[in-house]
Amino acid sequence: MRLADKVIIVTGASSGIGAAAARLFAAEGAAVVLGARRAERLEALSTEIVADGGRAVWVAGDVREADVAVALVARAEAAFGGLDGAFNNAGTVGEMAPVADITPGTWREVQDTNLTAAFLNARAQLPALQARGGGALVFTSSFVGMTVGLPGMGAYAAAKAGLMGLAQVIAAEYGAEGIRANCLMPGGTRTEMAGDDPEFHRFVEGLHALKRMAAPEEIAEVALFLLSDAASFVTGGGLFADGGNSICKT
């Protein structure tokens, strides 16, 4: 029970890495508060977790809205009495294009969903962690924007790189209060975001030293570590779970 008695928010919990993380965190003893837009998916996942003996509630809404971030924290406090951590994981690639062809609308959508949403959530979560006397935040970044400049992904890379700056400053500002903040950098992972085109999957697999993509459960394990007390001295950094993508040149 690596998250026994902890209350954890998971954004982007309706599919992929977020859904796998919610299941794992709950199985490891956490009470989870699920956030994403698709209410029926959140309800189904929450029902599944409770049927398996876990604790889960959900709030449907857009992570780009400040009120939704506040509502997630309020739900954690009302249902479970406080907040110990958050996996701020929701994200989108947006329409891919070379930088000169990215529309300002796409740029803003991608920044808002990946970066501004992380700020809005952290802004709402930090006072709750302070009230608890400590806690941990994890932001889902990517190898894209950290070590790899993938063509077509300028907006996404900038947003994901921005998360590292945000995590570093939160770690410095709130570390003395027992609050940790880190980024998790997954490699290519089999989720809705990665689509189901076998040719694209083969291309992505080839980018990794392990010559395969991750299952969402493998990434969830790393988020679990960063949120758990096993990572009690890990803060202000980034942890790659990228199958060797960042070091692979073959």
What lies within 8 Å, CB to CB, of 40 at 6+ separation is none
- Kindly state the smallest distance separating residue 20's Cβ from ligand NAD, in Å: 8
- CB-wise, 86 or 132, nearer to ligand NAD? 86
Cα–Cα–Cα angle for 21, 27, 30, rounded to 5 degrees: 80
- Separation of alpha carbons 223 and 205, rounded Å: 22
Instruction: Output the six-digit token pair for 78.
Output: 């009302």
Residue 174 falls in the annotated catalytic set: no
Edge-to-edge strands of the sheet including 55-60? 55-60, 31-36, 7-11, 85-88, 135-140, 179-186, 238-241
Q: To 10 degrees, what angle do helices 154-174 and 104-111 make?
A: 30
Minimum gap (Å) between residue 211 Cβ and ligand NAD: 15
Q: Residue 193 Cβ, how far from ligand NAD at the closest point, in Å?
A: 3
Question: CB of 133: closest distance to ligand NAD in angstroms?
Answer: 29
Q: Pick the closer one to ligand NAD by CB: 22 or 179.
A: 22
Contact by Cβ (8 Å): 144, 160: yes
> Residues, the chain, total?
250
Per-residue x/- marks for ligand NAD, 112-151, CB under 6 A? -x--------------------------x-x---------
> What span, in angstroms and rounded, lies between the C-alpha atoms of 167 and 119?
9
What is the smallest separation between the CB atom of 91 and ligand NAD, expressed in angstroms? 2
Catalytic residue among 25, 58, 87, 156: 156
Residue 27-66 contact track with ligand NAD, rule CB under 6 A, x = bound: ---------xxx-----------------------xxx--
Does position 89 bind ligand NAD by CB under 6 A? yes
Instruction: DSSP for 59-79, please give it.
Output: EE--TT-HHHHHHHHHHHHHH
Nearer to ligand NAD, 140 or 235 (CB): 140
Judged by CB, which is closer to ligand NAD: 3, or 13?
13
Structure tokens at 64: 């780009």
With H, G, I as helix, E, B as strand and everything else as coil, classify residue 104: helix
90 binds ligand NAD, rule: CB under 6 A = yes
Q: Is the dihedral of CA 3, 183, 122, 180 positive or negative?
A: positive
8, 14, 24, 182: residue in contact with ligand NAD (rule CB under 6 A)? 14
Q: Tell whether residue 186 is a contact of ligand NAD (CB under 6 A).
A: yes
Q: Which residues bind ligand NAD (CB under 6 A)?
A: 12-18, 36-38, 62-64, 89-92, 113, 140, 142, 186, 188-189, 191-194, 216
**Residues marked as catalytic:** 156
